[in-house]
């Protein structure tokens, strides 16, 4: 076999490898090749030996010298034997039990206390904390969450490492090398999309997040924001189709225009590309032949659950998870569509189209700001609870390139945290407050029109409801507290007394006396 430059296949080099790599699925294979591009010699293993063969073949095709960059291993023991000590092993295996299974196999194979295992999967952050404790003394369990899908993994993902600082010091050059890069002056992503392109030099999208679990927590919320971003784009698309009768290709053109401005993002770009694409079998727009039942792997759900537990109102993120759940009730929806009444959609007059498109643009923009504000607020509250000293500006920075939610917009979030490291909510930053002040009229119009027409826009609406609730000084929670006190003697605070005092009305007694509760 020859590589792309016609070099003959070499026998595998006998020098020791820098990194052991276990798990060669789509992500693992690409991360391994990315490491090899960056000069690391890899010992690779997967339970499925065909996957190892595929990777070796790919390396032969891609490498530009006759030196094998990736060495095949057929067991955990062989893998350890081929590595320089102390061993550095990267895992790309499914989250959950497989991570522990591989760790145990490596313990059995003789891994040492000073060796590092790095989990790159979408693991649940609490599992990560438990693992760091349970493997203490056996080896150093470190993690880096990875975002960017298969292309990101191959040419530069966004990385969210966390765990033992000593392990970070050892692995930092490796993770920085393989991560996406950003132009330090413009803040723009330096794209690499093929092996022919040189490795970009710039600010790495990899930064130490904090103690064990924090990196996976941040990645989990990244995915929650991703769910909201996607759902918001879908709602803008849906309203355009229903009220303007635009075709997918017309909407793709609008999305491409939007992608030139404040809504510039990877998700906007790929949505346009999807809407332009026709099904090769029917020649219909592909989107029209895709069943409208959304899947999910769990990270959005985890974000929503954590938001409820922490008490951080990430309503737009949770709504986006519910939107996926509701989409799966296809049979019920087909039945309900026939049984349940709603308004007739009033098609917009062609002369109003531009106005409606602008309203939707602004609704998407304002809702997106709110979704990110919710995500960052959630991370902040969780970090306070877990006592993680996180740097929010740095988190926004590593999401500027490589990851799925990458967007020009992230630079604005970094700027906001540069202005105020302690910022409690992005909405309170002067830039975002001014942006919403400018565009909220159209945001409200878009939601009002969709609602009058009976077109669901739960993520748009929940974002606006969050915004309006957040800026309301007195909420009806006073009545709610009274209700709780009435049926459950749950007590309440008074606005005119110290907050550490509690009061209760003896509702059942004549005269309903008010008492102070100790
Ligand atoms: C990323 C993605 C990645 C993956 C999610 C999608 O950041 O690279 O978020 O983690 O695509 O698993 O999750 P759902 O299947 O839940 O949409």
Architecture per CATH, 216-470 = Orthogonal Bundle (1.10)
Q: How far is the CA of 341 from the centre of ligand 1 (A)?
A: 36
What pLDDT, in 10s, does the model give residues 225-239? 999 999 999 999 999
User: Once rounded to an integer, what is the mean pLDDT over residues 6-32?
Assistant: 77
Which stretch of 141-145, 341-345, 348-352, 400-404 has the lowest confidence by average pLDDT?
348-352
Cα gap 105→92, rounded to integer Å: 15
Q: In the numeric block, which tokens belong to residue 472?
A: 């309301």
CA dist 304 and 307 (Å) reads 5
pLDDT given for residue 1 in this prediction: 31
Each residue's pLDDT tens digit, 4-15: 333 233 334 459
Q: Please tell me the residue having the least CA distance from ligand 1 atom 8.
A: 147
Each residue's pLDDT tens digit, 60-83: 999 999 899 999 999 999 999 999
pLDDT tens for each residue of 89-133: 999 999 999 999 999 999 999 999 999 999 999 999 999 999 999
Predicted local distance difference test score (pLDDT) of residue 87: 97
Q: What is the DSSP string of 295-341?
A: ---SHHHHHHHHHHHHT---HHHHHHHHHHHHHH-HHHHHHHHHHS-
Rounded CA gap, 1 and 489, in Å?
A: 79
Tell me the CA–centroid distance for residue 110 and ligand 1, in Å.
Answer: 34
Residues with CB under 6 A from ligand 1: 122, 147-149, 223, 226, 295-297, 299-300, 403-404
Q: CA separation (Å) from 136 to 139, 223, 504? A: 6, 29, 50
Instruction: Establish whether 41 is a catalytic residue.
Output: no
DSSP states of 402-468: SSTT-BTHHHHHHHHHHH-TT-S-GGGSHHHHHHHHHHHHHHHHHHHHHHHTT---HHHHHHHHHHH
Between CA 101 and CA 285 the distance in angstroms is 44
Atom of ligand 1 nearest to the CA of 157: 8
- Do the domains 19-211 and 216-470 sit in the same CATH topology, yes or no? no
Which of 432, 504, 449, 503 minimizes the C-alpha distance to 238? Answer: 449
Q: What is the mean pLDDT of residues 210-218?
A: 98
- From 125, 322, 404, the mutation candidate for ligand 1 (largest count of ligand atoms within 8 A of CB) is 404
User: Out of 3.20.20.140, 1.10.357.10, 1.20.5.320, 1.20.1440.130, which CATH number does the structure's domain 477-517 have?
Assistant: 1.20.5.320
Model pLDDT, residue 487: 98
Residues 132, 203, 226, 359: which is the catalytic one? 226
Q: What mean pLDDT do residues 267-295 have?
A: 98
* Pocket probe mutation, ligand 1, options 27, 119, 122, 153, max atoms within 8 Å of Cβ: 122
pLDDT at 370 over 70: yes
- Beta pairing partners, 181: 190, 204
Mean pLDDT of 357-386: 98
Tell me, what's the pLDDT at 518? 87
pLDDT tens digit sequence for 133-155: 999 999 999 999 999 999 999 99
Reference 369, options 295, 266, 262; nearest CA is 262
- ∠ CA 323-329-332, rounded to 5°: 130
> Which of 25, 156, 217, 297 for a ligand 1 pocket mutation test, highest count of atoms within 8 Å of Cβ?
297
Phi, psi of 143 (to 5 degrees): -135, 150
Task: Provide the token pair at 73.
Answer: 């291993």
Q: Do 307 and 318 meet the contact criterion of CB atoms below 8 Å apart?
A: yes
pLDDT number for residue 456: 98
Run of H or E including 233: helix 214-239
Q: Pairing mode, if any, of strands 116-119 and 158-162?
A: unpaired
Q: Rounded to 5 degrees, what angle do the CA atoms 387, 393, 396 make?
A: 105
Q: Is the dihedral of CA 300, 301, 303, 307 positive or negative?
A: positive
Domain layout of the chain by residue ranges: 19-211, 216-470, 477-517
Angstrom distances, CA of residue 11 to CA of 3, 16, 41, 51, 96: 14, 14, 15, 19, 37
Return the pLDDT at 14.
59
Q: How much is the pLDDT for 508? A: 97
**What residue owns the CA closest to ligand 1's atom 4?**
149
Mean pLDDT across 200-218: 97
Mean pLDDT of 486-506: 98
CA distance 179 to 167: 17
Mean pLDDT score of the chain, rounded to an integer?
95
Q: Is residue 219 annotated as part of the catalytic site, yes or no?
A: yes
Tell me what pLDDT residue 191 has: 87
What fold is seen in the domain 19-211? Rossmann fold (3.40.50)
In the numeric block, which tokens belong to residue 217? 């927590």
- Give me the pLDDT at residue 32, please: 98
Q: What does the pLDDT average to over 474-481?
A: 98
């Amino acid at each position: 076999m020859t590589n792309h430059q016609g070099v003959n296949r070499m026998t595998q080099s006998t020098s020791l490898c820098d990194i052991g790599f276990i798990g060669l699925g789509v992500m693992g294979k690409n991360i391994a090749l990315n490491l090899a591009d960056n000069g690391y010699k890899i010992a690779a293993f997967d339970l499925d030996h065909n996957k190892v063969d595929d990777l070796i073949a790919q390396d032969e095709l891609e490498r530009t010298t006759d030196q094998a960059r990736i060495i095949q291993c057929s067991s955990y023991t062989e893998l350890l034997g081929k590595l320089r000590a102390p061993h550095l092993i990267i895992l790309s295996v499914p989250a959950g039990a497989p991570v522990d299974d591989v760790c145990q196999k490596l313990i059995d194979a003789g891994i040492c206390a000073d060796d590092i295992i790095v989990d790159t999967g979408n693991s649940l952050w609490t599992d990560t904390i438990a693992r760091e404790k349970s493997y203490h003394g056996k080896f150093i369990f470190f993690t880096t969450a990875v975002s960017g899908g298969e292309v990101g993994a191959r040419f530069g993902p966004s990385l969210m490492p966390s765990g033992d600082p000593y392990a970070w010091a050892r692995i930092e050059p490796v993770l920085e090398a393989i991560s996406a890069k950003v132009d330090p002056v413009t803040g723009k992503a330096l794209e690499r999309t093929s092996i022919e392109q040189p490795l970009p030099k710039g600010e790495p999208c990899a930064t130490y997040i904090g103690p064990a679990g924090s990196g996976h927590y941040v990645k989990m919320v990244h995915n929650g924001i991703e769910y909201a971003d996607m759902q918001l784009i879908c709602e803008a698309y849906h309203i355009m189709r229903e009220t303007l009768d635009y075709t997918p290709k017309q909407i793709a053109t609008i999305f491409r225009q939007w992608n030139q401005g404040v809504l510039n993002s990877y998700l906007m770009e790929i949505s346009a590309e999807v809407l332009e694409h026709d099904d090769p079998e029917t020649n219909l727009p592909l989107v029209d032949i895709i069943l409208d039942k959304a899947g999910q792997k769990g990270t959005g759900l985890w974000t929503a659950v954590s938001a409820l537990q922490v008490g951080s109102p990430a309503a737009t993120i949770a709504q986006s998870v519910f939107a996926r759940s509701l989409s799966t009730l296809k049979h019920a929806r087909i039945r309900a569509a026939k049984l349940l009444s709603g308004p007739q959609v009033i098609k917009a007059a062609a002369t109003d189209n531009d106005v409606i498109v602008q309203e939707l643009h602004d609704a998407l923009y304002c809702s997106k700001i709110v979704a990110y504000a919710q995500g960052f607020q959630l991370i902040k509250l969780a970090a306070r609870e877990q006592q993680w000293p996180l740097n929010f500006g740095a988190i926004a920075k590593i999401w500027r390139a490589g990851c799925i939610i990458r967007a020009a917009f992230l630079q604005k979030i970094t700027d906001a945290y540069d202005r105020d490291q302690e910022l409690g909510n992005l909405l309170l930053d002067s830039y975002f407050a001014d942006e919403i002040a400018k565009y909220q009229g159209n945001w409200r119009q878009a939601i009002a029109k969709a609602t009058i027409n009976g077109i669901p826009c739960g993520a748009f609406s929940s974002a606006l409801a969050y915004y309006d609730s957040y800026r309301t000084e007195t909420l009806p929670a006073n009545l709610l507290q009274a209700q709780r006190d009435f049926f459950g003697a749950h007590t309440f605070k008074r606005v005119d007394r110290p907050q550490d005092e509690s009061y209760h009305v003896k509702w059942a007694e004549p005269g309903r006396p008010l008492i102070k509760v100790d």
